[in-house]
Structure 1
Amino acid sequence: MASKFVLKTASDGQFHFNLHAGNGEIILSSEQYKAKPSALDGVESVRKNSQRDGAFEVKAAASGKFHFVLKATNGQVIGQSQLYTSEAGAQAGTESVKKSAPEATLQDDT
């Protein structure tokens, strides 16, 4: 299975997307967007920024687990990961996004 972005409508009418790896697991989740075109712009921003040096930031959570965020050039967070048990796991997650995002298809479930 190829990687894909899945665009959805939230219960409040806003839009968001998840990036799924080839194995189907969600490797990145977006913020909420008020308009569908903005969410689609977010997908393109992930494609572009995932290839940029310094775009990912791995962070420790209060629980002792780790996650990463993907930031646009203006510093705004455009996506974040699930929690990982180790910093190395979160770092591997960033590599998965770098590999998957550029060629991922778009599935519109709105």
Structure 2
Amino acid sequence: MAGKFEVYEDKAGKFRFRLKSSNGQVVAVGEDYETKSAAIEGTKAVQRAADGATIDDQTG
């Protein structure tokens, strides 16, 4: 089973998303958005950005 994005409304009434791995562990959390549709667009932006992304190790 693949991971999934969950879109939810936080206690402040803002919309957010979190990415969960197939075992249910949260691996990423998005910023807050004013609308649910903006949060969904945020998930799509992460999917596009992650496609083919490389690791840039800046630890030295």
TM-score bucket of the superposed structures, by smaller chain: 0.7 to 0.9
Determine if the alignment matches structure 1 residue 62 to structure 2 residue 11: yes
Question: 2:36 corresponds to which letter in structure 1?
Answer: E
Displacement, 1:104?
1.6
2:49 aligns to what? 100
Distance (whole Å) between structure 1 residues aligned to residue 46 and residue 57 of structure 2: 19
Which has a greater percent of strand?
Answer: 1
Q: Which ranges in structure 2 are unaligned for 5 or more consecutive residues?
A: none
- Tell me the SS of whatever aligns to 1:70: strand
Q: Which ranges in structure 1 are unaligned for 5 or more consecutive residues?
A: 1-51
Q: How many residues are aligned here?
A: 59
Displacement, 1:92?
0.1
Runs of 4+ with deviation above 4 angstroms: none
**What percentage of aligned pairs have identical amino acids?**
41
- Tell me the SS of whatever aligns to 2:51: helix
Q: TM-score, normalised by structure 2?
A: 0.85
Displacement, 1:55?
0.3
Let me know the Cα RMSD of the aligned residues. 1.7
Offset from partner CA, 1:75-99 (integer Å, 9 cap, x none): 1111110111111110000101111
Distance (whole Å) between structure 1 residues aligned to residue 47 and residue 11 of structure 2: 26
Name which structure has the greater RCO, CA cutoff 8 Å, separation 6+: 1
